[in-house]
């Protein structure tokens, strides 16, 4: 087994196995009866669309639908933005003003998340989600992308890039899941004991979650206010999705992060308390054509905490390799 495959297996053997062993699965009846609701972030879409030309699109029906936001001309290079766990397509909106005129931007709610369909009879491991993204892009006629992924979305961006090198022109792995660092965070220590601060159970837990992912305390408080209702409504679904991600690990016999041949920017917040910044060094070492970009005074979500610098770094990197 190659070093990259060993690191992926080590990551899931350590964190995934221990979390599953020490945590409980959600009630199947609750999952079967669960239905999404419209929340404040979704209501921002038409308002934001009026300013920067964002359009809401969907494909498929019922529980198998995929919903995304799109901006920019179809003649421009495609920039695909993949959100992380407990997140949604709207988390990328702060970047859009800085991409205007440069890219056709696609921001999907990943299958199972946001407005996209959730089906408790489907599997939502990284392997399955990568294939769904590939199929969706083919269905909407996109054959070349520059992909950016944050956290869980970073793992998906890396796997999409490794598995489909002819599809991906450049990739940006932002505070990405998937490889261990020399150090790990208190959050990971808690996962080993079956506790997951990414899935809040009450309003106090929501405040703990936003405090975890943001270095900026004002942003953390604001995010807690706007996201609490949706996060609490989704707690059982998110528990199911996290267990799927832990239990259905990527297939190490297929191409993984070390097989990425595409120019890749590894981007990280130096104050990330979810995935330790030393993970960035592992990604940068494993991926041959990689560059490293670290942000001071930024946590797990650079696109929200420092949108201008984040967008500029992405734009410069993509243009350099087009």
Q: Please classify residue 267 by burial: count the beta carbons closer than 10 Å to its beta carbon, then call 0-12 exposed, 13-18 middle and 19+ buried.
A: buried
pLDDT of residue 149: 98
Asked if residues 298 and 215 have their Cβ atoms less than 8 Å apart, the reply is: yes
Lowest mean pLDDT among 8-22, 95-109, 113-127, 256-270: 8-22
How many CA atoms within 13 Å lie on the side-chain side of 231? 23
- CA-CA distance, 170 to 259, in Å (whole number)? 14
Residue predicted with more confidence, 62 or 198: 198
Please work out, in degrees rounded to the nearest 5, the angle formed at the alpha carbon of residue 162 by the alpha carbons of 264 and 57.
Answer: 85
- CA-CA distance, 237 to 96, in Å (whole number)? 29
Q: Is the pLDDT of residue 44 over 80?
A: no
Classify 114 in phi/psi space as left (phi over 0), alpha (psi -120 to 50) or beta.
Answer: left
Could you please report the per-residue DSSP string of 140-189? TT---EEEEEETHHHHHHHHHHHH-TTTEEEEEEES-SSS--SS--HHHH
pLDDT of residue 53: 80
pLDDT of residue 28: 95
Could you state, in order of their start, the residue ranges of all structural domains in the chain? 3-320
For the chain, give the longest Cα–Cα distance. Answer: 51
Classify 172 in phi/psi space as left (phi over 0), alpha (psi -120 to 50) or beta.
Answer: beta
pLDDT of residue 161: 98
- CA-CA distance, 147 to 154, in Å (whole number)? 9
Long-range contacts of 26-30 (CB under 8 A, 24+ apart): 26/236, 26/237, 26/239, 26/240, 27/236, 28/120, 30/236
Q: Write the pLDDT tens digit of every residue in 265-307.
A: 999 999 999 999 999 999 999 999 999 999 999 999 999 999 9
Residue from 194, 200, 230 nearest 213 by CA: 200
Q: Which two tokens stand for residue 309?
A: 């610098």
Residue predicted with more confidence, 250 or 80: 80
Residue predicted with more confidence, 8 or 167: 167
Asked if residues 6 and 177 have their Cβ atoms less than 8 Å apart, the reply is: no
pLDDT of residue 37: 81
Residue 141: other Cβ atoms inside 10 A? 7
Q: Is the pLDDT of residue 48 over 60?
A: no
Query: What is the fold of 3-320?
Result: Rossmann fold (3.40.50)
- Given pLDDT bands bounded at 50, 70 and 90, which one contains residue 45? low
Q: Please classify residue 54 by burial: count the beta carbons closer than 10 Å to its beta carbon, then call 0-12 exposed, 13-18 middle and 19+ buried.
A: buried
What proportion of the chain, given as a percentage, has pLDDT over 70?
96
- Given pLDDT bands bounded at 50, 70 and 90, which one contains residue 8? confident
Residues in contact with 166: Cβ distance below 8 Å, sequence separation at least 6, in sequence order: none
Q: Is the pLDDT of residue 4 over 60?
A: yes
Q: Is the pLDDT of residue 41 over 60?
A: no
pLDDT of residue 39: 64
Q: Write the pLDDT tens digit of every residue in 182-241.
A: 999 999 999 999 999 999 999 999 999 999 999 999 999 999 988 999 999 999 999 999
pLDDT of residue 10: 84
Distances (CA, A) of 278 to 23, 87, 176, 189: 27, 23, 11, 15
Residue 235: other Cβ atoms inside 10 A? 17
Span 46-68, average pLDDT: 78
Asked if residues 274 and 175 have their Cβ atoms less than 8 Å apart, the reply is: yes
pLDDT of residue 96: 94
Averaged pLDDT score across all residues of the chain: 93
pLDDT of residue 193: 94
- CA-CA distance, 147 to 42, in Å (whole number)? 23
pLDDT of residue 1: 76
What proportion of the chain, given as a percentage, has pLDDT over 90?
83
């Amino acid at each position: 087994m190659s070093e990259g495959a060993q690191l992926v297996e080590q990551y899931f053997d350590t964190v995934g196995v221990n979390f599953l062993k020490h945590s409980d699965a959600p009630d199947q009846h609750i999952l079967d009866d669960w239905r999404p609701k419209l929340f404040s972030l979704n209501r921002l879409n038409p308002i934001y669309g009026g300013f920067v030309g964002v359009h809401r699109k969907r494909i498929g029906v019922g529980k198998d639908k995929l919903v995304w936001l799109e901006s920019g001309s179809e003649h421009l290079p495609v920039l695909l933005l993949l959100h992380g766990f407990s997140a949604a397509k709207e988390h990328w909106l702060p970047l859009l003003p800085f991409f205007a005129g440069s890219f056709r931007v696609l921001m999907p709610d990943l299958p199972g998340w946001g407005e996209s369909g959730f089906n408790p009879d489907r599997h939502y491991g990284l392997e399955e989600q990568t294939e769904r993204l590939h199929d969706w892009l083919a269905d909407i006629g996109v054959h070349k992308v520059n992909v950016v992924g944050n956290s869980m979305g970073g793992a998906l961006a890396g796997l999409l890039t490794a598995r489909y090198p002819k599809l991906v022109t450049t990739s940006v792995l932002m505070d990405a899941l998937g490889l261990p660092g020399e150090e790990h965070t208190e959050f990971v220590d808690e996962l080993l004991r079956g506790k997951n601060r990414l899935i809040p159970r009450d309003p106090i837990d929501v405040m703990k979650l936003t405090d975890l992912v943001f270095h900026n305390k004002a942003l953390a408080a604001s995010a807690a206010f706007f996201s609490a209702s949706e996060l609490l409504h989704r707690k059982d679904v998110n528990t199911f999705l996290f267990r799927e991600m832990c239990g259905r690990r990527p297939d190490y016999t297929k191409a993984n992060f070390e097989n990425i041949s595409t120019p890749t920017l590894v981007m990280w917040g130096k104050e990330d308390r979810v995935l330790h910044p030393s993970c960035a060094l592992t990604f940068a070492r494993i991926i041959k054509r990689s560059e490293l970009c670290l942000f001071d005074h930024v946590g797990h979500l650079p696109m929200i905490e420092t949108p201008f610098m984040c967008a500029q770094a992405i734009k410069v990197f993509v243009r350099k390799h087009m």
